[in-house]
Homo-oligomer: A and B are copies of this chain.
Amino acid sequence: MTSGVLHLIPVPLGDIPPDGALPLATLTALRALNYFIVEDERSARRFLAAAAHPCAIRSLRIERFDKDSDASRARQVLQPLNQGISAGLLSEAGCPAVADPGALVVAAAHSAGLQVVPHVGPASMILALMASGFNGQQFMFHGYLPPGRDQCRAAIAGLEQESRSRNTTQIFIETRHRSDALLALILETCEPVTRLCVACDLTLPTQSVRSRHVRDWRRSPGAPLGRRPSVFVLYAR
Protein backbone atom coordinates (compact mmCIF):
# COMPACT_ATOMS: atom_id res chain seq x y z
CA MET A 1 0.00 0.00 0.00
CA THR A 2 1.21 3.49 -0.84
CA SER A 3 1.62 5.80 2.18
CA GLY A 4 -0.37 9.00 2.45
CA VAL A 5 1.19 12.38 1.66
CA LEU A 6 1.52 15.28 4.12
CA HIS A 7 0.28 18.44 2.37
CA LEU A 8 1.29 21.77 3.93
CA ILE A 9 -1.65 24.10 3.33
CA PRO A 10 -1.39 27.85 4.03
CA VAL A 11 -4.38 29.77 5.39
CA PRO A 12 -5.35 33.43 4.65
CA LEU A 13 -3.99 36.06 7.07
CA GLY A 14 -7.44 37.25 8.10
CA ASP A 15 -11.11 37.00 7.41
CA ILE A 16 -11.03 37.13 3.60
CA PRO A 17 -12.36 34.60 1.07
CA PRO A 18 -9.82 31.73 0.69
CA ASP A 19 -10.54 31.38 -3.03
CA GLY A 20 -9.11 34.86 -3.62
CA ALA A 21 -6.15 34.48 -1.26
CA LEU A 22 -4.85 31.00 -2.16
CA PRO A 23 -3.76 29.67 -5.58
CA LEU A 24 -6.02 27.18 -7.31
CA ALA A 25 -3.35 24.48 -6.88
CA THR A 26 -3.51 24.93 -3.09
CA LEU A 27 -7.33 24.96 -3.06
CA THR A 28 -7.46 21.85 -5.26
CA ALA A 29 -5.08 19.98 -2.96
CA LEU A 30 -7.03 20.90 0.15
CA ARG A 31 -10.42 20.01 -1.36
CA ALA A 32 -9.14 16.49 -2.14
CA LEU A 33 -8.21 15.78 1.50
CA ASN A 34 -10.45 14.31 4.21
CA TYR A 35 -7.99 14.44 7.08
CA PHE A 36 -6.53 17.61 8.62
CA ILE A 37 -3.98 18.30 11.36
CA VAL A 38 -4.72 21.76 12.78
CA GLU A 39 -3.80 24.22 15.54
CA ASP A 40 -7.42 24.92 16.46
CA GLU A 41 -10.36 22.77 15.35
CA ARG A 42 -12.98 25.49 15.35
CA SER A 43 -11.13 27.98 13.15
CA ALA A 44 -9.97 25.12 10.89
CA ARG A 45 -13.59 24.04 10.29
CA ARG A 46 -14.54 27.65 9.52
CA PHE A 47 -11.66 27.89 7.03
CA LEU A 48 -12.50 24.56 5.35
CA ALA A 49 -16.12 25.63 4.91
CA ALA A 50 -15.04 29.02 3.50
CA ALA A 51 -12.65 27.24 1.13
CA ALA A 52 -15.62 25.30 -0.29
CA HIS A 53 -14.45 21.85 0.79
CA PRO A 54 -16.80 19.49 -1.09
CA CYS A 55 -17.57 17.26 1.93
CA ALA A 56 -19.73 17.99 4.94
CA ILE A 57 -17.26 19.65 7.30
CA ARG A 58 -18.42 17.52 10.26
CA SER A 59 -17.56 14.37 8.25
CA LEU A 60 -13.89 15.36 7.98
CA ARG A 61 -11.36 13.91 10.39
CA ILE A 62 -9.63 16.73 12.25
CA GLU A 63 -6.83 16.27 14.82
CA ARG A 64 -5.36 19.02 16.95
CA PHE A 65 -1.62 19.75 17.05
CA ASP A 66 -0.82 22.95 18.91
CA LYS A 67 2.00 24.64 20.80
CA ASP A 68 1.66 22.17 23.70
CA SER A 69 1.90 19.09 21.44
CA ASP A 70 5.13 17.07 21.33
CA ALA A 71 7.00 14.72 18.97
CA SER A 72 5.07 11.70 20.25
CA ARG A 73 1.77 13.42 19.42
CA ALA A 74 3.23 14.24 15.99
CA ARG A 75 3.84 10.54 15.32
CA GLN A 76 0.31 9.80 16.53
CA VAL A 77 -1.44 12.26 14.20
CA LEU A 78 0.60 10.86 11.28
CA GLN A 79 -0.63 7.26 11.90
CA PRO A 80 -3.41 7.45 9.27
CA LEU A 81 -0.77 8.21 6.62
CA ASN A 82 0.68 4.72 7.14
CA GLN A 83 -2.74 3.39 6.06
CA GLY A 84 -2.56 5.39 2.83
CA ILE A 85 -4.62 8.38 4.00
CA SER A 86 -3.18 11.79 3.04
CA ALA A 87 -3.36 14.73 5.45
CA GLY A 88 -3.41 18.52 5.28
CA LEU A 89 -1.39 20.40 7.89
CA LEU A 90 -3.04 23.79 8.50
CA SER A 91 -1.76 26.87 10.26
CA GLU A 92 -4.01 29.37 12.06
CA ALA A 93 -2.85 31.99 9.57
CA GLY A 94 -0.13 31.95 6.93
CA CYS A 95 2.21 29.04 6.20
CA PRO A 96 2.20 25.94 8.40
CA ALA A 97 5.54 25.11 10.07
CA VAL A 98 6.72 28.73 9.76
CA ALA A 99 6.34 30.62 13.06
CA ASP A 100 3.81 27.99 14.20
CA PRO A 101 3.99 24.56 15.94
CA GLY A 102 3.60 22.44 12.78
CA ALA A 103 7.33 21.95 12.14
CA LEU A 104 7.35 19.00 14.58
CA VAL A 105 4.73 17.24 12.44
CA VAL A 106 6.79 17.82 9.28
CA ALA A 107 9.94 16.53 11.01
CA ALA A 108 8.09 13.40 12.17
CA ALA A 109 6.81 12.87 8.61
CA HIS A 110 10.38 12.90 7.24
CA SER A 111 11.52 10.51 9.99
CA ALA A 112 8.72 8.15 8.95
CA GLY A 113 9.77 8.38 5.30
CA LEU A 114 6.54 10.09 4.27
CA GLN A 115 6.27 12.45 1.30
CA VAL A 116 5.87 16.15 2.23
CA VAL A 117 4.38 18.64 -0.25
CA PRO A 118 4.48 22.38 0.54
CA HIS A 119 1.81 24.57 -1.09
CA VAL A 120 1.83 28.28 -1.96
CA GLY A 121 0.05 30.83 0.20
CA PRO A 122 0.57 33.99 2.23
CA ALA A 123 3.71 34.34 4.40
CA SER A 124 3.45 37.62 6.30
CA MET A 125 7.21 38.03 6.83
CA ILE A 126 7.89 37.67 3.09
CA LEU A 127 5.11 40.10 2.15
CA ALA A 128 6.53 42.61 4.65
CA LEU A 129 10.06 42.08 3.33
CA MET A 130 8.93 42.57 -0.30
CA ALA A 131 7.07 45.72 0.67
CA SER A 132 9.92 47.18 2.76
CA GLY A 133 12.32 47.84 -0.12
CA PHE A 134 15.20 46.67 2.13
CA ASN A 135 17.82 44.04 1.32
CA GLY A 136 15.98 40.94 0.09
CA GLN A 137 19.20 39.07 -0.71
CA GLN A 138 20.00 38.41 2.98
CA PHE A 139 17.45 38.51 5.76
CA MET A 140 16.67 37.03 9.16
CA PHE A 141 13.35 36.27 10.82
CA HIS A 142 13.39 36.33 14.64
CA GLY A 143 9.75 35.67 15.57
CA TYR A 144 8.94 37.51 18.81
CA LEU A 145 11.51 39.65 20.61
CA PRO A 146 11.94 39.09 24.38
CA PRO A 147 9.04 40.52 26.42
CA GLY A 148 10.78 42.59 29.14
CA ARG A 149 11.44 46.24 28.27
CA ASP A 150 15.21 46.17 28.94
CA GLN A 151 15.71 42.81 27.25
CA CYS A 152 13.65 43.92 24.26
CA ARG A 153 15.62 47.14 23.94
CA ALA A 154 18.88 45.18 24.06
CA ALA A 155 17.53 42.79 21.39
CA ILE A 156 16.58 45.70 19.10
CA ALA A 157 20.03 47.28 19.50
CA GLY A 158 21.62 43.91 18.77
CA LEU A 159 19.57 43.38 15.61
CA GLU A 160 20.36 46.91 14.42
CA GLN A 161 24.08 46.31 14.96
CA GLU A 162 23.91 42.94 13.20
CA SER A 163 21.98 44.44 10.27
CA ARG A 164 24.73 47.02 9.84
CA SER A 165 27.69 44.66 10.19
CA ARG A 166 26.25 41.79 8.06
CA ASN A 167 24.13 43.85 5.63
CA THR A 168 21.07 41.82 6.49
CA THR A 169 17.41 42.77 6.87
CA GLN A 170 15.88 41.93 10.27
CA ILE A 171 12.23 40.84 10.50
CA PHE A 172 10.22 40.30 13.69
CA ILE A 173 6.64 40.27 14.94
CA GLU A 174 4.78 41.24 18.11
CA THR A 175 1.49 40.20 19.69
CA ARG A 176 -1.23 42.63 18.72
CA HIS A 177 -1.67 44.50 21.97
CA ARG A 178 2.05 45.28 22.26
CA SER A 179 2.75 46.55 18.73
CA ASP A 180 2.59 50.24 19.65
CA ALA A 181 4.88 49.71 22.66
CA LEU A 182 7.38 47.89 20.42
CA LEU A 183 7.24 50.64 17.80
CA ALA A 184 7.92 53.28 20.48
CA LEU A 185 10.86 51.25 21.80
CA ILE A 186 12.37 50.87 18.31
CA LEU A 187 12.09 54.63 17.70
CA GLU A 188 13.75 55.29 21.08
CA THR A 189 16.53 52.75 20.57
CA CYS A 190 17.61 52.94 16.92
CA GLU A 191 19.82 55.39 15.06
CA PRO A 192 18.04 58.13 13.07
CA VAL A 193 19.42 56.77 9.77
CA THR A 194 18.24 53.20 10.39
CA ARG A 195 15.27 52.22 8.26
CA LEU A 196 12.07 50.73 9.65
CA CYS A 197 9.09 49.29 7.81
CA VAL A 198 5.84 48.44 9.60
CA ALA A 199 3.39 46.36 7.56
CA CYS A 200 -0.12 46.03 9.02
CA ASP A 201 -3.13 43.91 8.04
CA LEU A 202 -1.21 42.33 5.17
CA THR A 203 -3.44 41.09 2.28
CA LEU A 204 -6.54 42.56 3.99
CA PRO A 205 -8.56 45.50 2.61
CA THR A 206 -7.14 47.61 5.47
CA GLN A 207 -3.51 46.76 4.58
CA SER A 208 -0.93 49.48 5.12
CA VAL A 209 2.84 49.62 4.67
CA ARG A 210 5.08 52.43 5.92
CA SER A 211 8.79 52.24 5.20
CA ARG A 212 11.07 55.14 6.18
CA HIS A 213 14.08 56.22 8.23
CA VAL A 214 13.75 56.22 12.02
CA ARG A 215 14.20 60.03 12.00
CA ASP A 216 11.11 60.38 9.80
CA TRP A 217 9.09 57.98 11.96
CA ARG A 218 10.01 60.15 14.97
CA ARG A 219 8.86 63.33 13.21
CA SER A 220 5.50 61.88 12.21
CA PRO A 221 4.74 58.52 13.83
CA GLY A 222 1.27 58.32 12.26
CA ALA A 223 -1.85 56.70 13.70
CA PRO A 224 -1.40 54.07 16.44
CA LEU A 225 -1.13 50.48 15.17
CA GLY A 226 -3.75 49.42 17.71
CA ARG A 227 -4.67 45.74 17.44
CA ARG A 228 -3.79 45.34 13.76
CA PRO A 229 -1.44 42.38 13.12
CA SER A 230 1.93 44.00 12.33
CA VAL A 231 5.27 42.83 10.97
CA PHE A 232 8.40 44.91 11.71
CA VAL A 233 11.30 45.10 9.28
CA LEU A 234 14.56 46.82 10.25
CA TYR A 235 17.55 47.67 8.08
CA ALA A 236 20.65 49.60 9.13
CA ARG A 237 23.11 50.27 6.35
Contact = CB atoms under 8 A, between A and B. Distances in A.
A99 B21 contact: no
Contacts of A99: 136-137
Contacts of A106: 130-133, 211
A135 interface: yes
B25 A103 contact: no
Query: How many copies of this chain are found per oligomer?
Result: 2
Interface in A145-160: none
B133 A98 contact: no
Nearest to A115: B209
B118 A202 contact: yes
Interface residues of A, number: 58
A118 B130 contact: yes
A68 to B, nearest CB: 15
Q: Give the secondary structure class of A's interface.
A: mixed
Interface string A1-39: 000000010000000000111111100100000000000
Interface stretch (A43-51, A54-62, A119-127, A183-191): A119-127
Given A20-B23, A24-B20, A103-B135, A129 B98 contact: yes
B137 A127 contact: no
Q: Which 4 A-B pairs have the closest CB atoms?
A: A106-B133, A107-B133, A98-B136, A118-B131
